[in-house]
Amino acid sequence: MRAVDIIRKKRDGGRLDAAEIAWMVHGIASGEVPDYQWSALLMAIVLNDMDASETAQLTDAMMRSGSILDLSNLEAPKVDKHSTGGVGDKTSLILAPIAAAAGLCVPMVSGRGLGHTGGTLDKLESIPGFRVDLDLSEARSVLERLGLVMIGQTAELAPADRFLYALRDATATVESIPLIAASILSKKLAEGIDALVLDVKTGDGAFLPQLEDSRQLARAMCNIGASLGKAVSALISSMEQPLGNAVGNSLEVAECLEVLRGRGPSDLIELSLELTAEMLVLGKQARSREEGLAISQRSIDDGCALERFRRLIEAQGGDPRVVDEPDRLPTAEHAVEIRARRSGIVSRVAARAIGHATMLIGAGRSRVDSRIDPAAGVVLLRKVGDEVEENEPLCRILYNRSTHLAEARELIANAFSIADQVPSPSPLIVERLGSNEERT
């Protein structure tokens, strides 16, 4: 085969077959296909798209470019969740222990925050001592004991994605539904899972803000699951305002502990339980969404989920005392409040601006090598639909670094809109999709 023929075929609107796709992906590791030819193919894919079967074949080839975890010795159904990323999106830390306590095996490989979005690994690392860099044999041992493990991407899992993502970043070819879908699913399916629940965000703070784009991405990933024999379903959820009240790493861990104790913000509880229920249904531990919700709620009420999280922290080198004493999490030295300019009802809390502002005060990264401040963040005191009087606080900014504080304050102040009327309620879960079918 010759790369130039494959590029030409896609350039001219043709359909690549499984052998051509596998050969190109294999060529990354073997060196047979240089960067410039892959770059040309990526641009041809952006311009001419891939159909469902090409996308599935690309995912399969990328997944097979490295190791695929063999978890067949573990009896429990292996199910994970992936979110396309948002602001205050901390459901992984809640649902993984609930799902494990309810009988699933959750081998969760997560990412770091970049730009305005947060990342699970950064949140976990705000727990003193917590290690996300376990090697695969350490991870397997934690998984065997606890039914869950939470680690970062390793060099062994889907290495083709790392190479392709770097090229896409440098060649303006990130924005393609088949490339995004294959990138996400190749990494997730390399975890050796049977089923996957996707939380595809839509709205202001989402990676893809337009609902139609989120829908297409969700549909593409469900179709890949169907083609590769994995149960994949998706919830499309709103990222118009931050999820929960806390945005920033240790603040978010503390909020997750609240939820695992049966308290906490209602939107965060709702989405976490809905995602867990879907995981339980796909993993055949619940016959229906309602039963899944009841099981999830029970493992919060009886303390099993919180206990599982405590054991996870201990198993991964963290200080388990944070569970009962959240004051042991890093705290910021300074705080400042943003106050309402007028009385009324909060009609908007723009997620992207809040995410961007928290990044500026050190809670996130503007570049992959930026250093995070685990304690920095924002706590929302009012959310959409809440009443506020003039000069009452809307949120509190917690910070150690003041270099970009003025800019962050302005962004946050402008992120809030206050109106005279209650805004029409918009649903948190916008749509549900299963493999090849829409379910709303």
Active-site residue set: 82, 161, 168, 183, 187
Site string for ligand URA, 151-180 (x = CB under 6 A): -----------------------x----xx
Nearer to ligand URA among residue 182 and residue 411 (C-beta): 182
DSSP string, 178-198: HHHHHHHHHHHHTT--SEEEE
Smallest gap, in angstroms, from Cβ of residue 230 to ligand URA? 17
134 touching ligand URA, by CB under 6 A? no
Smallest gap, in angstroms, from Cβ of residue 345 to ligand URA? 35
Burial class of 114 by CB neighbour count within 10 A (0 to 12, 13 to 18, 19+): middle
The candidate with the shortest Cα–Cα distance to 417, out of 358, 341, 355, 360, is 341
How many chain residues interact with ligand URA (CB under 6 A)?
5
By CB under 6 A, the residues from 19 to 38 that bind ligand URA are none
Dist. CA 435–CA 279, nearest whole Å: 14
Nearer to ligand URA among residue 166 and residue 335 (C-beta): 166
Q: What are the residue ranges of helices labelled H in 3-51?
A: 3-11, 18-30, 35-48
Q: Which residue is nearest to ligand URA (CB)?
A: 183
DSSP string, 84-127: ---SS--HHHHHHHHHHHTT-BEEEEE---BTTB--HHHHHHTS
Nearer to ligand URA among residue 179 and residue 379 (C-beta): 179
DSSP 420: S
Smallest gap, in angstroms, from Cβ of residue 161 to ligand URA? 7
Site string for ligand URA, 175-214 (x = CB under 6 A): ----xx--xx------------------------------
DSSP bridge partners of 416: 349
Beta strands in 219-313 (DSSP E): 231-238, 246-247
Smallest gap, in angstroms, from Cβ of residue 36 to ligand URA? 20
Nearer to ligand URA among residue 208 and residue 286 (C-beta): 208
Tokens of 53: 């079967």
Dist. CA 374–CA 130, nearest whole Å: 12
Smallest gap, in angstroms, from Cβ of residue 215 to ligand URA? 16
Tell me which residues touch ligand URA (CB under 6 A): 174, 179-180, 183-184
